[in-house]
């Protein structure tokens, strides 16, 4: 693992672990801001619990687990995708700068909104990072290419040896050997 990955992943993950722990310990602090987004998401996704507090805790748990996995480099691509997916409703719930009336509050919320947007960009880059190892898609394509190449070589070698073998068999048959 490169030094940049070893240092960068925990740095990116730290915000999620800290925020997730806060959501798990004190979900009541976040419920009022999350309520409008939770209602909209819960209507569309029947699997989710109806309670806003439970969803805040669930989101916090995903942030803690995903952040820990990303920071430790365990399943970092999956962890980054999970964090990116949960960052969308988190950002929409907590940083609705377009609804703020006070100009300083609006500016502050816009900064936090853009910060979360940039974190999402980092997570998407982390989700695409294969750690210098070929991706499964690349490995599958090259394995298929290698199989086609091997099949072509087998077909050519069979054709190259079949004609002389048939000729030798015919000669043997005429000679009665």
> Which region holds residue 28: left if phi is over 0, alpha if psi is between -120 and 50, else beta?
alpha
> What pLDDT does 39 receive?
82
**pLDDT for position 41:** 81
Query: 42-68 burial by CB neighbour count: b if 16+ within 10 A, else e?
Result: beeeeeeeeebeebbbbbbebbbbbbb
Q: Answer yes or no: are the C-beta atoms of 63 and 83 closer than 8 Å.
A: yes
To which H or E segment does residue 166 belong?
helix 136-175
pLDDT mean across residues, the chain:
88
Q: Model pTM greater than 0.85?
A: no
* Highest-confidence segment of 5-9, 11-15, 28-32: 11-15
Q: 89 and 106 in contact (C-beta within 8 Å)?
A: no
* Averaged pLDDT, 4-11: 90
Q: Does the pLDDT at position 1 exceed 70?
A: no
């Amino acid at each position: 693992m490169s030094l940049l990955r070893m240092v960068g992943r925990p740095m990116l993950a730290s915000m999620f672990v800290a925020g997730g722990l806060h959501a798990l310990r004190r979900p009541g602090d976040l419920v009022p801001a999350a309520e409008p987004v939770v209602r909209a998401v819960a209507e569309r996704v029947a699997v989710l619990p109806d309670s806003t507090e439970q969803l805040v805790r669930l989101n916090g748990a995903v942030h803690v687990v995903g952040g820990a996995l990303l920071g430790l480099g365990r399943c970092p691509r999956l962890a980054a995708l999970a964090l990116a997916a949960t960052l969308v409703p988190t950002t929409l719930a907590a940083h609705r700068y377009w609804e703020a009336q006070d100009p300083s509050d609006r500016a502050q919320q816009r900064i936090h909104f853009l910060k979360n947007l940039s974190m999402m960009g980092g997570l998407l880059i982390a989700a695409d990072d294969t750690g210098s190892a070929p991706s499964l898609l690349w490995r599958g394509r090259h394995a298929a290419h290698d199989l086609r190449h091997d099949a072509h070589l087998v077909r050519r070698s069979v054709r190259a040896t079949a004609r002389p073998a048939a000729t030798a068999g015919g000669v043997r048959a005429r000679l009665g050997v």
